[in-house]
């Protein structure tokens, strides 16, 4: 059994947009309840985060942007971006505590007492140095990677949220100590529009950004094919000392925003593979963060099943949380995925 920490505070509920908005903390509360009902916290340690300092926040965000968020947080009106991220009173503190949870996850792993640490309140991969985007105020993924560099010489980020990790990519674009992999839906006019195979990093970071753009209707078989053909060999070649997994639940077939059509079975396969890689190369060091997920029931089931896998709780009670079937892609979609895989293999010299 490996020690797993679950970072949590009820202050996570303060990150709350107006009723019409799809991003809801209900995912987190449902996950926690599903875990509690199954006595998971007999095996997983609950740990509370404390807010990080502004000095730490400045590792990934400019002073001016932080001041802007503070101003909007007092004012409580309008948007932080062009319509996706509404401001509300206290948004600064609410965003800060959630990303502090991800930093706490890293500290626990650095301390050596835990090799798995989970913050489902994190995963804000769209936030940039100078601006908010796509429901994300501060980018905890890039921050954890940057802070992790003080202790680990090679870190891998695997982002299975259904959207492209554009903020993380931009913040770490020239960084060769962090391998950035994002799988996402890629389709004309689909947010954020970036993440094609030819975005590979710049300067000494060239080759350390790997984008896996996938078509609508990908399904478990198409997704797993891309994962086995690209993600596994790339991680085996890189041999990271720490893996950060962004586990947004919006790749699920019932998600209203994304159409990647993964089932809980596909998710579990992917998470189990990442867990296995963490034990093979990273002494088990694995940070699981949340992310999107707009079908709240599906996201809570995905996160619960994933957490049980990571914590090594193999209990039949988790079986009941699965979807009744796996998903398949059409021949046409499968061909498209195969051709994307071939292009990525050429660009990143895999074979
Ligand atoms: N995809 C998508 C999507 N859906 C919405 C949205 C829907 C209802 C609302 F009331 C408000 C917003 N916005 C988007 C995307 C941003 C997606 C962010 C995903 C976040 C994550 O899961 O990756 C991680 C937490 N934005 C857009 O598509 C941009 C617009 C182009 C359309 C929406 N309007 C509000 C802004 C401009
Ligand atoms: Ca992604
Ligand atoms: Zn998303």
Span 237-246, pLDDT tens digits: 999 999 999 9
Ligand 1 proximity of 248 Cβ (cutoff 6 Å): yes
Whether pLDDT at 78 is above 70: yes
> What does the alpha-carbon distance between residue 177 and residue 67 come to, in Å, rounded to a whole number?
30
Residue closest via CA to ligand 1's atom 31 equals: 191
- Chain mean pLDDT for the chain: 98
pLDDT above 80: residue 2 = no
- What does the pLDDT read at residue 258? 99
Which residues place a Cβ less than 5 A from the ion ligand 3?
Answer: 161-163, 248, 250, 292
Pick one of 3.40.800.20, 3.40.630.30, 3.40.50.150, 3.40.140.10 as the CATH number of 4-347. Answer: 3.40.800.20
- Distance CA(246)–CA(119), nearest Å, equals 10
Tell me, what's the pLDDT at 160? 99
> What Rg, from alpha-carbon coordinates, does the chain have?
19
* 114 DSSP assignment: -
**For residue 125, which atom of ligand 1 is closest to its CA?**
24
CA pair distance 286, 241, nearest whole angstrom: 9
Residues in the chain, total:
351
Contact 294, 22 (CB under 8 A): yes
| CA separation for the pair 6, 310 (Å, rounded) | 11
Tokens of 139: 């980018």
126: annotated active-site residue: yes
For 275-295, write each residue's pLDDT tens digit.
999 999 999 999 999 999 999
Ligand 1 pocket, residue 213 CB under 6 Å: no
Q: Is the CB of 291 under 6 A from ligand 1?
A: yes
316 band by pLDDT with thresholds 50, 70 and 90: confident
Whether residue 281 has its Cβ less than 6 Å from ligand 1: no
Question: Which residue, by CA, sits nearest to atom 4 of ligand 1?
Answer: 257
Mean pLDDT of 7-34: 98
- Tell me how far the alpha carbon of residue 107 lies from the centroid of ligand 3, in angstroms: 26
What are the structure tokens assigned to 259, written together? 């159409």
| Mean pLDDT for the stretch of residues 267-271 | 98
To test the ligand 1 pocket, which listed residue (24, 84, 160, 252) has its Cβ within 8 A of the most ligand atoms? 84
Q: What is the DSSP string of 154-217?
A: -EEEEE-SSS--HHHHHHTTT-SSEEEEEEEE--TT-TT----TT----GGGTTSEEEEEE-TT
Residue 121 to residues 27, 100, 106: CA-CA distances in angstroms? 9, 10, 14
> What per-residue confidence (pLDDT) applies to 314?
86
- Whether 21 has a pLDDT exceeding 60, the answer reads yes
Question: How would residue 1 be classed by pLDDT, with cut points 50, 70 and 90?
Answer: very low
* Residues with CB in 5 Å of ion ligand 2: 159, 161, 182, 184
- Contact criterion met (CB below 8 Å) for 243 and 274: yes
* 137 CA from centroid of ligand 1 (Å): 14
Both tokens of 301, joined, read 């089931």
> Is the confidence metric ipTM above 0.90 for this complex?
yes
Tens-place pLDDT, residues 97-130: 999 999 999 999 999 999 999 999 999 999 999 9
Assess whether pLDDT exceeds 60 at residue 13. Answer: yes
Catalytic position from the list 61, 116, 125, 126? 126
Band of residue 161 on the pLDDT scale cut at 50, 70, 90? very high
Q: Which of 25, 85, 126, 191 to mutate to test the pocket of ligand 1 (most atoms within 8 A of CB)?
A: 191
pLDDT, one tens digit per residue, over 84-93 is 999 999 999 9
From the CA of 162, how far away is ligand 2's center (Å)?
5
Q: Is 304 helix (H, G, I), strand (E, B) or coil?
A: helix
Query: Is 80 exceeded by the pLDDT of residue 198?
Result: yes
Task: Residue 77: count other Cβ atoms within 10 Å of its Cβ.
Answer: 10
């Amino acid at each position: 059994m490996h020690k797993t920490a679950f970072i949590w505070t009820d202050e996570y509920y303060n990150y709350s947009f107006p009723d019409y908005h799809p991003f809801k903390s209900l995912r987190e509360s449902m996950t926690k309840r599903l875990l509690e009902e199954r006595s998971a916290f007999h095996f997983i340690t609950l740990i509370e985060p404390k807010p990080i300092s502004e000095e730490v926040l400045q590792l990934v965000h400019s002073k001016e942007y932080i001041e802007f968020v503070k101003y909007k947080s007092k004012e409580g009106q309008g948007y932080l971006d062009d319509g996706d991220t509404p401001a509300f009173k206290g948004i600064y503190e609410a965003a800060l505590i959630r990303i502090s949870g991800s930093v706490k996850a890293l500290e626990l792993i650095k301390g050596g007492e835990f090799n798995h640490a989970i913050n489902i309140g994190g995963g804000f991969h769209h936030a940039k140095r100078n601006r908010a985007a796509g429901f994300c105020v501060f980018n905890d993924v890039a921050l954890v990677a940057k802070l992790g560099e003080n202790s680990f010489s090679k870190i891998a980020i695997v982002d299975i949220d259904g959207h492209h990790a554009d903020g993380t990519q931009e913040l770490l674009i020239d960084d060769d100590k962090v391998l950035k992999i994002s799988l996402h839906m890629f389709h004309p006019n689909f947010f954020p529009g970036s993440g094609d195979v030819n975005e590979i990093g710049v300067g000494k970071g060239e080759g350390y950004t790997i984008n896996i753009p996938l078509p609508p209707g990908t399904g478990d078989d198409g997704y797993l094919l891309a994962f086995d053909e690209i993600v596994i060999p790339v991680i085996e070649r890189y041999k990271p000392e720490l893996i950060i997994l962004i586990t947004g639940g919006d790749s699920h077939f019932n998600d209203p925003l994304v159409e990647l059509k993964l089932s809980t079975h596909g998710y579990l396969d992917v998470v189990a593979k990442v867990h296995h890689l963490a034990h093979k190369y990273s002494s088990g060091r694995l940070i699981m963060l949340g992310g999107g997920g707009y079908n709240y029931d599906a996201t809570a089931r995905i996160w619960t099943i994933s957490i049980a896998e990571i914590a090594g709780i193999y209990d039949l009670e988790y079986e009941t949380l699965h979807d009744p079937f796996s998903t398949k892609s059409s021949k046409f979609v499968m061909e498209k995925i195969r051709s994307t895989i071939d292009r990525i293999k050429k660009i990143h010299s895999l074979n």
